[in-house]
């Protein structure tokens, strides 16, 4: 019995020791490491907007461009309109690459400017036509012109010729046959009223009205001075004639840029129905869309 009891106690003691060893070695499993958050993917950079810089005279060109600007913005094209009040700098800054395009001139003026200045401006598209008008100064009508009357006209070659053709249309002078758009005052073969032609920069023509009997004024400068060729002029070019195409105002760019996607988008915006509606509702015939 003693041997048996001793054996049982020994077994109990061994079991206790084994249990104690087991509990010491059975340390709890370490907590699972917290998973690192997935790296947030950086947003893709937005594509840089295309930007066009265009030179324009204030009226109507810059006003029309504001409509095109909204349409281009919807296509991701930013249009910056840079205002000029002369006919020289807009071509120089485009030829130099400082600006991308201009909108102020017609083809005969552009061609003449290129020939005289060595520039290389071309048309990217025709937009509108501005009829020339004869406006009253000291004399209220063409029929009442006194002998020796003074008439101011633009001093640049193409617009000067255009003014002479309009005066011929109204019977004030007669030009040498066939001179057309190359006419100068030296091509006058009949001047029954002995009118004196006063040549000046086109932008100054509206300011000359108080000093002359009549003034032949470009459509944009007339509008800028609050004169509407369609309603205020004594005479106006026929918008249904060849002049509408020949003297249509265009988008000018440096040669080689006329087929760029941004320039084509600009021309498309300017030839849109939205622009046509704006022109027709704003200028009362003083600006005529030709698209």
Q: For residue 193, what is the domain's CATH number? A: 3.40.190.10
Threshold 0.95, pTM exceeds: no
User: Which pLDDT score, from 0 to 100, does residue 162 have?
Assistant: 93
Same domain for 264 and 176: no
Angle, helices 63-73/273-282, rounded to nearest 10 degrees: 150
Confirm whether 11 is domain-assigned. Answer: no
Q: Is residue 259 part of a domain?
A: yes
Kindly state whether residues 139 and 64 are assigned to the same domain: no
Mean pLDDT within 172-190: 95
Mean pLDDT of the 32-58 span = 66
Residues 68, 69, 72, 73, CA torsion sign: negative
The token pair that represents 224 in the structure block: 């800028």
Distance CA 291, CA 287 (A): 12
Residues of the chain with pLDDT > 90, as a percent, come to 77
Residue 68 predicted with pLDDT over 60: yes
Is there a single domain that holds both residue 116 and residue 187?
Answer: no
Q: 102 and 126 in one domain?
A: yes
Clarify whether residues 122 and 256 are in a common domain. Answer: yes
Q: Is there a domain that residue 7 lies in? A: no
Query: Are residue 87 and residue 114 in the same domain, yes or no?
Result: yes
Alpha helices (H) along the chain: 2-25, 63-73, 89-95, 107-117, 157-169, 219-224, 229-232, 243-246, 261-270, 273-282
Residue 123 contacts by C-beta under 8 Å, 6 or more apart in sequence?
Answer: 107, 110, 250, 251, 252, 258
Beta-carbon contacts of 211 under 8 Å, excluding residues fewer than 6 positions away, are 137, 138, 150, 152
In a shared domain, residues 138 and 233: yes
Residue 239 pLDDT grade (very low, low, confident, very high; cuts 50, 70, 90): low
Range of the domain at 174: 133-237
For residue 164, being part of any structural domain is answered with yes
d(CA 168, CA 170): 5
**Burial class of residue 36, CB neighbours in 10 A (0-12, 13-18, 19+):** exposed
pLDDT at position 241:
63
Residues 150 and 223 placed together within one structural domain of the fold: yes
Report CA 262 to chain centroid distance, whole Å. Answer: 11
Structure tokens at 166: 């309009």
Domain membership flag for residue 26: no
Indicate the number of domains in the chain: 2
Closest Cα to residue 194, out of 217, 173, 216, 169? Answer: 173
In this structure, the answer to whether residues 188 and 215 fall within a common structural domain is yes
Mean pLDDT of 167-194: 95
Residues 124 and 59 in one domain: yes
Asked if residue 234 lies in contact with residue 134, where contact means CB atoms within 8 angstroms, the answer is yes
Least Cα distance to 106 among 88, 84, 129, 83 occurs for 129
Contact 114, 121 (CB under 8 A): yes
Choose the final residue of a domain: 215, 237, 259: 237
Residue 80 in any domain: the answer is yes
Cβ pair 278, 155 in contact under 8 A: no
- Model confidence at 180, pLDDT cuts 50, 70, 90, reads confident
Residue 217: partners with Cβ closer than 8 Å, 6 or more residues away: 132, 133, 135, 202, 205, 206, 225, 227, 229
Whether residues 121 and 258 share a domain: the answer is yes
pLDDT band at 238 (very low <50, low <70, confident <90, very high): confident
Please, which pLDDT band fits residue 43 given cuts at 50, 70 and 90?
A: low
Please give the biggest Cα pair distance in the chain. 162
Q: Are residues 69 and 124 both part of a single domain?
A: yes
- The pLDDT of residue 1: 36
Res 36 pLDDT > 90: no
2 located within any domain: no
Asked if residue 123 is part of any domain, the answer here is yes
> In angstroms, rounded to a whole number, what is the distance separating the alpha carbons of residues 283 and 60?
8
Q: Which of 275, 284, 263 is nearest to 67 (CA)?
A: 275
Domain boundary at 195, 219, 237, which?
237
């Amino acid at each position: 019995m003693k041997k048996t009891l001793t054996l049982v106690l020994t077994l109990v003691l061994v079991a206790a020791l084994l249990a104690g060893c087991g509990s010491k070695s059975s340390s709890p499993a370490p907590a699972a490491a917290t998973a690192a958050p997935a790296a947030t993917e950086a947003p893709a950079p937005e594509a840089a907007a295309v930007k066009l810089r265009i030179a324009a005279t204030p009226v109507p060109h810059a006003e029309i461009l504001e409509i095109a600007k909204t349409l281009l913005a919807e296509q991701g094209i930013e249009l910056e309109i840079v205002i000029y009040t002369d006919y020289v700098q807009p071509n120089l800054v485009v030829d130099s690459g400082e600006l991308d395009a201009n909108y102020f001139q017609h083809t005969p003026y552009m061609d003449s400017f290129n020939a005289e200045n060595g520039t290389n401006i071309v048309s990217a598209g025709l937009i509108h036509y501005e009829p020339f008008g004869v406006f009253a100064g000291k004399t209220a009508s063409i029929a009442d012109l006194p002998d020796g009357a003074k008439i101011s006209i633009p001093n640049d070659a193409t617009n000067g010729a255009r003014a002479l053709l309009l005066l011929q249309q109204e019977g004030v002078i007669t030009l040498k046959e066939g001179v057309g758009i190359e006419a100068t005052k030296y091509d006058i073969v009949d001047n029954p009223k002995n009118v004196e032609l006063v040549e000046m920069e086109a932008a100054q023509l509206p300011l000359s009205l108080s000093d002359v009997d009549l003034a032949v004024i470009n459509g944009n400068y007339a509008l800028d001075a609050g004169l509407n060729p369609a309603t205020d002029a004594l005479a106006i070019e026929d918008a249904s004639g060849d002049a509408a195409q020949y003297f249509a105002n265009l988008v000018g760019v440096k040669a080689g840029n006329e087929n760029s996607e941004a320039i084509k988008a600009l021309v498309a915006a300017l030839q849109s129905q939205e622009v046509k509606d704006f022109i027709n509702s704003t200028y009362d015939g003083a600006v005529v869309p030709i698209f």
